[in-house]
Structure 1
């Protein structure tokens, strides 16, 4: 990892800057705000000139973009790329983000090729080549490919992100997998952000960061815009 660049920042979220070249899992059950948090972590940087590249397995590009804009009204879609793997036809939607389509989630080779093309397109066009990648979600992909192929895919993504001093954010629902599977997949990332529903109050959720240096200890409340 490079130590020359400053860390990736997350606005009002209780997550301290994360070093360039880092990949993290954002883990939470389906009813938690884990996926919303992952999308926000990736899209947030566009307001300050960074790029955002999404691999969307369970939302169309249009729905994903709308979700990002709800969480962060300052999102700049012109600095976003989206690989839409949802398989849903949205017609001729006119979006500011650059969109590429993969017809099925099982086509990891196709997703990887589109990822490389979008990353190469975004890298020179954003501030200091800083690109945040969001894969949402691993759990959705796991229904279409075997675990060995999925692990290799995530490991390859992490390696590319590391070499480019990017940031990787991979959403996963740990309740849909056994512990061994989650632990195996987690080996492809540097740390994990666990998400749960708040125990009380008006906060959207609670999170805690595991495996990354210089982060707050314990569960922290957070709210998305």
Structure 2
């Protein structure tokens, strides 16, 4: 009987194992076998402790400074700021997609993270604060690094900060929300989104104008929490 027929004929509650050449499709939530896959139809019953499964899927966060002395193949999670984002490349005979980025912590320790497959297409830009769960420590040319796994997840860490600068352009002439602001501060341009929850104080009809903006970011989008226009001693907006 062919393996596919044996699999279809398997009873429920049967313990089995599969090994080698397993293709995991996380999007459609399925596992595909290949001609090289080993399928073991009989095996002893076993139980996986819930804590062990949880630790595998969500390993504890370790300091980036500890990665150089950590063993390879160890699973871990890290936090930090994205400081470099490379281009997506196609490598190998199986045309795998990869992208290298660099994560830096508050103490200026950094580590290279290689993103494989669908993770290479994540929307990432420098200066984002992120928490990355489920990476694996590897070594290349005697340098420790981390790589994505099929169970890796990435979430943005929300940040709030103040910007004082020149508001020079607005995407909506009628101020229909949501719209974007172009603000220049210390030679850096920011695109800031005004949504239904944003508070705007002052007249922004005439540009350019100096503004004080409280912002929030939870990913690539910078949102306006509150914006106030600056005025001089006579009350004239500047």
Is the TM value for this pair above 0.5?
no
Greater fraction of residues in helix: 1
Bigger Rg, which one: 2
Greater fraction of residues in strand: 2
Greater relative CO, 1 or 2 (CA 8 Å, sep 6+): 1
Give the TM-score of the pair, scaled to structure 1: 0.22
